[in-house]
Chains A and B, each alone.
Chain A
Amino acid sequence: MVHWSAEEKQLIASVWAKVNVEECGAEALARLLIVYPWTQRFFDNFGNLSSPTAIIGNPKVRAHGKKVLTSFGDAIKNLDNLKVTYSKLSELHCDKLHVDPENFRLLGDILVIVLAAHFTKDFTPACQATWQKLVGVVAHALAHKYH
């Protein structure tokens, strides 16, 4: 089980409290699709993903980004119980969605960059370290039920 220090929990909570889940989620997912275009393979039914402008303005991207980051919020509420919390979601991503877990790591890194841009100098090295740990642990939990 992953251990979280009091300081790490504080850094996670204080950042999360100021995150606009809809905006941040939309931004993170859009950047994933722009920076790593091969990730678009999972979103054939999203309509126009033909350019960064199209991706950023795409309502399905925004909606899905919000969904994904809302789920991330569940992880934050269940830091000591992540594998169980994400058990069904993990099965879904493996059995139904067929998503390579590498994509969770890519999205996690993008999320950290989005947070850095949003929080600027408040996103200290200690803060980044904690969030890199968090996104890594979330990616691991999401991959846990793969077979």
Chain B
Amino acid sequence: MVLHANDKSNVKAVFAKIGGHAEEYGAETLERMFAAYPQTKTYFPHFDLAKGSAQVKGHGKKVAAALVEAANHIDDIAGALSKLSDLHAQKLRVDPVNFKLLGQCFLVVVASHNPSLLTPEVHASLDKFLCAVGTVLTAKYR
């Protein structure tokens, strides 16, 4: 999945528009993922997953920060997320299928908060970006 120039500018524009809401979007992404794909909860047995959970909010903030970081270094996502990639490979070992589920929920969050922002072209670029992030995070798995 190669990000072309238009993809990069579309993604940067999305994150510029999202701005300070990124943390909130991160938390909502996780909330939606746990609701729509209950199997994803198996990675968080140590979390309180009730609505409004401070742990989910905190984790959503981390997830969002990583996406923002990737968008800010979109020419070298692998470099920007290298440590996170190591973490996922060595410690977290989240099955690769789950990145697509997270991506779907993030797209739903963006769509539901900013319908006019998610044009078909932007949707395509953001989907590609989220795939690229998932690929980077699972790249060192084996």
Given contacts A112-B108, A119-B112, 17 further A-B contacts (CB under 8 A): A31-B123, A34-B124, A35-B124, A52-B124, A55-B120, A113-B104, A113-B108, A113-B111, A116-B107, A116-B112, A123-B108, A125-B31, A125-B32, A125-B36, A128-B35, A128-B36, A133-B36
Cα separation A126 to B109 with both chains bound (whole Å): 13
In the assembled complex, 22 residue pairs joining A and B whose CB atoms fall closer than 8 Å, in A order, are: A30-B120, A31-B120, A31-B123, A34-B121, A34-B123, A35-B123, A35-B124, A52-B120, A52-B121, A52-B124, A113-B108, A113-B111, A116-B115, A117-B111, A117-B112, A117-B118, A118-B115, A119-B112, A120-B113, A125-B32, A126-B35, A128-B32
B109 shortest CB reach to chain A, Å: 8
Interface residues of A in 44-59 (CB under 8 A from B): 52, 55-56
Interface residues of A (CB under 8 A from B): 30-31, 34-35, 52, 55-56, 109, 112-114, 116-121, 123, 125-126, 128-129, 132-133
**Residue of B with least CB distance to A37:** B124
Instruction: Write out, one digit per residue, whether chain B residues 98-110 have a CB within 8 A of any chain A CB (1) or not (0).
Output: 0000001101110
B24 at the interface (CB under 8 A from A): no
A113 touching B37 in the complex, CB below 8 Å, given contacts A34-B123, A125-B31 = no
- In the bound complex, what is the Cα–Cα distance between A103 and B19 (angstroms)? 33
Is there an interface contact between B35 and A125, defined as CB atoms closer than 8 Å?
yes
Once the chains are docked, how many angstroms separate the CA of A133 from the CA of B35?
Answer: 11
- CB-CB under 8 A from B32, the residues of chain A are 125, 128-129
Sort chain B's interface into a size bin: 20 to 34
CA–CA, A120 and B37, complex, Å? 20
- A112: chain B residues at CB < 8 Å are 104, 108
Q: Which residue of A lies closest to B126 (CB)?
A: A35
**Alpha-carbon distance between A118 and B104 when the two chains are bound, in angstroms:** 16
B86 at the interface (CB under 8 A from A): no
Q: Give B109's nearest chain A residue, CB to CB.
A: A116
Residues of chain A within 8 A of B37, CB atoms compared:
132
Beta-carbon contact of B120 and A120 below 8 Å: no
Find chain B residues with CB under 8 A from A116 CB. 107-109, 111-112, 115
What's the least CB distance linking A11 to chain B, in Å?
A: 12
Q: Quick one: which of A35, A114, A123 has the most chain B CB within 10 A?
A: A35
